[in-house]
């Protein structure tokens, strides 16, 4: 039985592995197109898993009861994941000194 953090890491690694496999099988493919497809699938999957249940008073689903609230939760998660990524900052980034 894997704990929650292990499942998250396992799913994230699986998405990266899938992207690498698609790139290897399609040498002409643009890596950004592969990434866009992976992200699209991830967003669809995430939204599917956040559909609120049929009980309008369910406390677990209350923060996800409208499409806009789900989108806000998704955007917050994307922000956190992007900022914690080792690729968030790049040596090619523009800095205030050379703007």
Rounded Cα gap, residues 91 and 89, in angstroms: 7
- As given in the structure block, the two tokens for residue 1 are 């039985």
CB 6 → Zn ion: shortest distance, Å?
25
CB 62 → Zn ion: shortest distance, Å?
8
Question: Within 35-74, which residues bind Zn ion (CB under 5 A)?
Answer: 53, 58, 60-61
CB 48 → Zn ion: shortest distance, Å?
15
Q: Quick one: 55 or 89, whose CB is closer to Zn ion?
A: 55
Rounded Cα gap, residues 50 and 88, in angstroms: 26
- Note whether 55 and 61 are within 8 A (CB): yes
Task: Give the interface with Zn ion as residue ranges (CB under 5 A).
Answer: 53, 58, 60-61
């Amino acid at each position: 039985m894997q704990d929650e953090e292990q499942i998250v890491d396992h799913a994230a690694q699986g998405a990266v592995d899938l992207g690498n496999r698609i790139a290897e099988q399609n040498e002409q493919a643009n890596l950004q197109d592969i990434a866009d497809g992976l992200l699209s699938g991830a967003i669809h999957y995430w939204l599917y898993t956040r559909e609120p249940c049929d009980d309008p008073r369910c406390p677990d689903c209350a923060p996800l009861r409208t499409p806009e609230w789900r989108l806000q939760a998704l955007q917050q998660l994307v922000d956190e994941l992007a900022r914690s990524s080792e690729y968030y900052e790049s040596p090619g980034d523009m800095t205030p000194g050379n703007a």
